Amino acid sequence: MNFVIIDVETTGGSVNASKITELAIYKFDGEKIIDEFVTLVNPEIPIPEFIVRLTGISDQMVTKAPKFYEIAKQVIEFCEGCVFVAHNVAFDYGMFRSEYKTLGYDFRFPHLCTVKAARLIIPGHESYSLGKLTRALGISINGRHRAGGDALATTELFQIMHEKDQERLIGLIQTEINPKKIHPNLSIETIDGLPQKAGVYLFYNEFNKIIYIGKSISIKKRVEQHLNNTKTAKAIKMIQDIVRVEYEITGSDLIAMLRESELIKIHKPLYNRTLRNSVFSFGLFDQQNEDGYITLKVESLSKNDAYPLIHFNSRKDGIEFLNAKVEQYQLCQKLSHLYKSQEACFHYTIKKCAGACVNIEHPADYNKRVNQCFDALTFEGRSFYIIDKGREKVEKSIVWIENGVYQGYGFAPYHFHGKGPDAFKRYINKQKEDRDIKTILNLFLRKNEWAKIIDL
């Protein structure tokens, strides 16, 4: 597999409003550079002074350089059959697509981002900007903010990751949507124009019926994943049925989860069949055993008719959560179904369990800690607002809980909270609570300890 490691310099920071002034492409075969293509480009528009200061590329330097349309065919031929690689690939790949779009050509290549790859394969760095990351790795850049220097440094970074974990690196390649595999009435341009923001998205079929509802922190990325998913017959059938995509930007991932749950229950989409009644499939259940101890167990909702203390997306999430609570409240592994034994649990042998598993600790003492754990799982009786991101920078989102009951959510101007909590209610769209809503809120508060809470 060959890769083209690319960097571009442009007239500005906006993909749609900028033009390329320089590009560098290094063809890499997994071991070494086998070819290169580096050139200045005449953008046919003036280069802003602050860009000249940043890159050193001036109008005079590009006067005799080729215009993009003059090298467009050569670039395509050079990149043919390769994976497009760049540091912050969204920008460089976006610039290529924009330049080719003005020429009436739909530029589409499988692509990979070395920022995302580096975060996974070489974690723990303070910054993943090209300058700081390469400096930390001992990679020198000869010509920072010039396409050739930055592209060569990116190539060295890519080689380090390729040698360290080739399988994971290859797994990060994003493939483009194949127009032949989607419904002929679904516009690729529409998909390209989807926002990379948090929100919900809705798929419609040719009969104008909603067939799937989802949520994501990046609507565009998640929709593209759906349209590239050919792993199951169900996924392929859904791709072929989609003729229109609509979306709602929420800004907040919490609001997206709440809105998704609400819409699924209203519309009951065909391909959300497993989500019609609940978006969670596992729960934490409690039961008192014959010795008077409260036992805990993570179990599938389909295997237990009782109402769970808390819900989870997966068994793995539930087990991780329960393990943490066993540590926090010094609960018994055996009574929490985390340690199978006829004798004492492992924690008892290292003095982290007081012996409930072998009837040494009195049930009342043990159950007191279990109930303390229960109390921390809920917000029964509490009244508060959760303040989170808005749809734009000028607003915030609000979720209202009154006496432990979810009241709804809304959006307010960024500085609204200066007026005091009593003024928040005017921005709320009233909603009904159900078990999924309560679980979503609990899940969010557990995983986001940084969340801004305003108590009433």
Work out the number of other CB atoms within 10 angstroms of the CB of residue 144.
Answer: 15
164 and 42 share one domain: yes
Show which of 254, 275, 296 is a domain's final residue.
Answer: 275
In a domain, 134, yes or no: yes
Q: Find the domain containing 162 and state its range.
A: 3-171
Confidence bin at 107 (pLDDT 50/70/90): very high
Residue 18: the pLDDT is: 95
Confidence bin at 449 (pLDDT 50/70/90): confident
Q: What is the pLDDT of residues 316-367, one digit of tens each?
A: 989 999 999 999 999 999 999 999 999 999 999 999 999 999 999 999 999 9
Confidence bin at 418 (pLDDT 50/70/90): low
Q: What is the mean pLDDT of residues 237-255?
A: 95
Where residue 110 sits, what CATH number does that domain have?
3.30.420.10
Q: What is the mean pLDDT of residues 111-138?
A: 95
Show which of 151, 171, 191 is a domain's final residue.
Answer: 171
Q: What is the pLDDT of residues 65-99, one digit of tens each?
A: 999 999 999 999 999 999 999 999 989 999 999 99
157 and 185 share one domain: no
Q: What is the mean pLDDT of residues 116-126?
A: 95
Q: What is the mean pLDDT of residues 270-282?
A: 67
Residue 407 has pLDDT above 80, yes or no: yes
109 and 189 share one domain: no
Q: What is the mean pLDDT of residues 156-160?
A: 96
- HSE, CB side, 13 Å, CA atoms: give it for residue 302: 6
78 and 187 share one domain: no
In a domain, 376, yes or no: no
Query: What is the set of active-site residues?
Result: 145
In a domain, 377, yes or no: no
117 and 185 share one domain: no
Question: Hey, what are 408's tokens?
Answer: 């709804």
Quick check: 50 and 57 in contact, CB under 8 A? no
9 and 158 share one domain: yes
48 and 151 share one domain: yes
In a domain, 51, yes or no: yes
In a domain, 228, yes or no: yes
Quick check: 326 and 333 in contact, CB under 8 A? yes
Where residue 239 sits, what CATH number does that domain have?
3.40.1440.10
Confidence bin at 275 (pLDDT 50/70/90): very low
Residue 293: the pLDDT is: 97
Show which of 219, 247, 275 is a domain's final residue.
Answer: 275
Residue 276 has pLDDT above 50, yes or no: no
Average pLDDT, the chain: 91
159 and 233 share one domain: no
71 and 122 share one domain: yes
Q: What is the mean pLDDT of residues 303-315?
A: 81
Confidence bin at 417 (pLDDT 50/70/90): low
In a domain, 219, yes or no: yes
Residue 380 has pLDDT above 70, yes or no: no
306 and 355 share one domain: yes
Domain count, the chain: 4
In a domain, 66, yes or no: yes
Residue 330: the pLDDT is: 95
In a domain, 378, yes or no: no
68 and 147 share one domain: yes
Q: What is the mean pLDDT of residues 19-44?
A: 96
Residue 279: the pLDDT is: 59
229 and 260 share one domain: yes
Confidence bin at 278 (pLDDT 50/70/90): low
Residue 277: the pLDDT is: 47
* pTM summary value: 0.67
